[in-house]
Amino acid sequence: MFEKIRSLIFKFDPETAHDLAIKALKTKLLPVKVKNYESLRVKFLEKEIPNPIGIAAGFDKNAEIYNPLFKLGFGFVEVGTITPEPQYGNPKPRVFRLEEDEALINRLGFNNIGSEKASHNINSNTPTGLLGINIGPNKDTKNMIEDYIKCFKTLNHLGDYITINISSPNTENLRSFHNPKDLEELLNILNEEKKKINSNINIAVKIAPDIRNKDLDVIGDILLKNKVKFVIISNTSDGTRENLKNVNKFEKGGLSGKPIEQKSNLLIKEFFKIFNNKIKIIGVGGVDSGKSAYEKFISGASYIQLYTGMVYKGPNIVNKISDELNDFLSSDGVKNIEEIIGSK
Ligand SMILES: Cc1cc2nc3c(=O)[nH]c(=O)nc-3n(C[C@H](O)[C@H](O)[C@H](O)COP(=O)(O)O)c2cc1C
């Protein structure tokens, strides 16, 4: 069904198509019948979720459609990135499809309605599933750490976990938080704030795919020391693009989808090897099928997320991945997906 209407949807520019998707989800009319498999039911923090497949940050930037996304079958939803103040983001066009490469490039630049309005959205619409809230600084801020803290204060009580996004390539200097000293300072201040306001919320840190394997060691140690619960590997890439086919390949922005899959898997494998599940990994990058999801789990991810896969494969993607994953597991005689984490 989706294959038939995809060429029609792809006649719109990607951002318009996304806005239409949001409108469609708000009408709650999407005819997806969700399948549940015992083999995919997992624990996430203190909750049981129907499957470990989440929608990645950026799809529901303003926390408007997380409940319809649960209805599509997603086991968890991460909203955001939300900044303290509302901001427009970069000038349009700022999202590009690379069809031959099954990829996207975006330079949206944290367009969102700001933390006050987002908190109002969540407050007035109780999440029906497990919710992550992804936060970041405004583009024109004088102090990025203060921005994270402002957002944290407004939003920490509304989700099941808060993601500290240090990895968007579209906010200048954001990725400098991959430097040990800067990361340490950010997490120290965040933990002080948590103490001050008596918050027990779990923290995830989302990292870039463009770091060197050897940096994972140091970054992971800092996360561990600061009691970070999850690492999200990874955000979009600003790496080399010579090998891509589509004419849009040199557009400025972050690359997502199939071309970043291997990069993300390698980092997941390395991180799992070093930290052996002491920090749980949420694996992201190029997931669009049962096989690609399976690769992430055996590389070491406890949970996965996707964005670009939904653009190319449509709203039934969770069912499709669930069917295929369940088949893999039963043909291997595995009862639950948790048994295969890091088994590669
Ligand atoms: C259009 C678009 C917007 C995104 N916006 C955000 C964002 O606001 N915050 C964030 O942490 N990641 C954002 N991402 C990154 C995704 O969450 C994900 O990490 C990345 O796209 C890799 O996954 P994928 O290959 O399944 O798309 C965005 C990705 C896309 C394609």
The pLDDT of residue 223 is 97
Question: Any residues with Cβ below 6 Å from ligand 1, and which?
Answer: 56-58, 61, 80-81, 95, 104, 106, 108, 110, 134, 165, 168, 206, 235-236, 256-257, 260, 284-287, 306-309
One-letter amino acid for residue 51 of the chain:
N
Catalytic sites, residue numbers: 168
Phi, psi of 53 (to 5 degrees): -105, 115
Cis peptide before 234 (omega within 30 of 0): yes
3-state secondary structure (DSSP) of residue 98: strand
- For ligand 1, atom 26: residue with the closest CA: 306
CB 57, CB 206: distance < 8 Å:
yes
Phi, psi of 87 (to 5 degrees): -150, 150
Ligand 1 mean position to 214 CA, how many Å? 24
Residue 134: strand pairing partners: 163
3-state secondary structure (DSSP) of residue 44: strand
Q: Residue 23 corresponds to which tokens in the numbers above?
A: 């409108």
Could you tell me the fold of the domain covering 2-340?
Answer: TIM Barrel (3.20.20)
Ligand 1 mean position to 57 CA, how many Å? 6
- For ligand 1, atom 28: residue with the closest CA: 58
- For ligand 1, atom 10: residue with the closest CA: 57
- For ligand 1, atom 19: residue with the closest CA: 235
Q: Residue 298 corresponds to which tokens in the numbers above?
A: 């055996």
Ligand 1 mean position to 163 CA, how many Å? 13
3-state secondary structure (DSSP) of residue 260: helix
Ligand 1 atom nearest the C-alpha of 95 is 1
Ligand 1 mean position to 334 CA, how many Å? 31
Q: Which of 60, 102, 162, 256 to mutate to test the pocket of ligand 1 (most atoms within 8 A of CB)?
A: 256
Ligand 1 mean position to 58 CA, how many Å? 5
Ligand 1 atom nearest the C-alpha of 56 is 17
CB under 8 Å to 339, separation ≥6 — which residues?
Answer: none
- For ligand 1, atom 23: residue with the closest CA: 285
DSSP 8-state symbol, 234:
-
From first to last of its 344 residues, the chain has per-residue pLDDT tens of: 788 889 889 989 999 999 999 998 998 776 677 889 999 999 999 999 999 999 999 999 999 999 999 999 999 999 999 999 999 999 999 999 999 999 999 999 999 999 999 999 999 999 999 999 999 999 999 999 999 999 999 999 999 999 999 999 999 999 999 999 999 999 999 999 999 999 999 999 999 999 988 899 999 999 999 999 999 999 999 988 999 999 999 999 999 999 999 999 999 999 999 999 999 999 999 999 999 999 999 999 999 999 999 999 999 999 999 999 999 999 999 999 999 999 97
